[in-house]
Chains A and B, each alone.
Chain A
Amino acid sequence: DAGVIQSPRHEVTEMGQEVTLRCKPISGHDYLFWYRQTMMRGLELLIYFNNNVPIDDSGMPEDRFSAKMPNASFSTLKIQPSEPRDSAVYFCASRRQGTYEQYFGPGTRLTVT
């Protein structure tokens, strides 16, 4: 089992640029989650999907953030335009329906200058 895969692992971009983060959940998992971690706010849930459908996006900070899940094996989190305050580590996690644990990916460290 390869685990949750995220790419890129590190991203450095300039303010105003579009950033796309990618996630491949564990095969067979029905839920996919996007989290953001900063020193100030800790680890917070941005959005989650069930069977590719967005269920709760109340954690998405603003319209500059969007997430998609076109199929069961791929999701993207896009920031357009990016701002320095978006600098954080973004984690993707997945879970199989009927089980309790979420499996987290290694994260993408985003730096916006």
Chain B
Amino acid sequence: DAKTTQPPSMDCAEGRAANLPCNHSTISGNEYVYWYRQIHSQGPQYIIHGLKNNETNEMASLIITEDRKSSTLILPHATLRDTAVYYCIVRVAFGNEKLTFGTGTRLTIIP
């Protein structure tokens, strides 16, 4: 699986959009970008995934650059409950079940 690079921490004001970047310059053509988050003392939670098109669901939006070497997770209106560690993971969709969690980005929402 391709390696990912994320900033170790970020702050965002409550109500503003939180933009979390991820670099994955060695991504292969059949690898997806997944985002999970882990709120303190809880299990990781799936947020969103994408291959090359931008994706949006009820939780977030995922913007993938045209060359697929980086992506941004957007939480449109951050709340205090979005304070968590966010993990960007790159892997093939099926056939390799391993989710390799790096160190992630610790996002703190400021009141």
Does A associate with B in a complex? yes
Count CB-based A-B contacts (< 8 Å). 44
Could you say which of A33, A50, A91, A102 contacts B46, with CB atoms under 8 Å apart?
A102
**How far in angstroms is the closest Cβ of chain B from A68?**
18
**B106: interface (CB < 8 Å):** no
Q: Which residue of chain B lies nearest to A50 when distances are taken between CB atoms in the complex?
A: B97
**B45: interface (CB < 8 Å):** yes
**How far in angstroms is the closest Cβ of chain B from A108?**
11
Contacting residues, chain A, for B101 (C-beta < 8 A): 42-44
Q: Which residue of chain B lies nearest to A95 when distances are taken between CB atoms in the complex?
A: B97
Per the 8 Å Cβ criterion, residues 26-49 of B in contact with A are 32, 34, 38, 41-46, 49
Contacting residues, chain B, for A103 (C-beta < 8 A): 46
Could you tell me if A107 and B34 are in contact, using CB atoms closer than 8 angstroms? no
Could you tell me if A100 and B49 are in contact, using CB atoms closer than 8 angstroms? yes
* A93–B42 alpha-carbon span in the complex (Å): 12
* A90–B41 alpha-carbon span in the complex (Å): 11
* A52–B69 alpha-carbon span in the complex (Å): 37
Q: Which residue of chain B lies nearest to A104 when distances are taken between CB atoms in the complex?
A: B43
* A95–B46 alpha-carbon span in the complex (Å): 11
Contacting residues, chain A, for B45 (C-beta < 8 A): 104
Could you tell me if B34 and A100 are in contact, using CB atoms closer than 8 angstroms? yes
Could you tell me if B43 and A55 are in contact, using CB atoms closer than 8 angstroms? no
Q: Which residue of chain A lies nearest to B44 when distances are taken between CB atoms in the complex?
A: A104
Per the 8 Å Cβ criterion, residues 65-102 of B in contact with A are 93, 97-102
- A20-52: contact bitstring with B at CB < 8 Å (1 yes, 0 no)? 000000000001010000000011110010100
Q: Which residue of chain A lies nearest to B43 when distances are taken between CB atoms in the complex?
A: A104
Contacting residues, chain B, for A55 (C-beta < 8 A): 97
* A109–B44 alpha-carbon span in the complex (Å): 15
Could you tell me if A56 and B44 are in contact, using CB atoms closer than 8 angstroms? no
Which 6 A-B residue pairings sit nearest by Cβ, starting from the closest? A104-B43, A101-B46, A43-B101, A104-B44, A91-B43, A45-B98
Interface of A toward B, CB cutoff 8 Å? 4, 31, 33, 42-45, 48, 50, 55-56, 91, 93, 95, 100-107
Interface of B toward A, CB cutoff 8 Å? 32, 34, 38, 41-46, 49, 93, 97-103
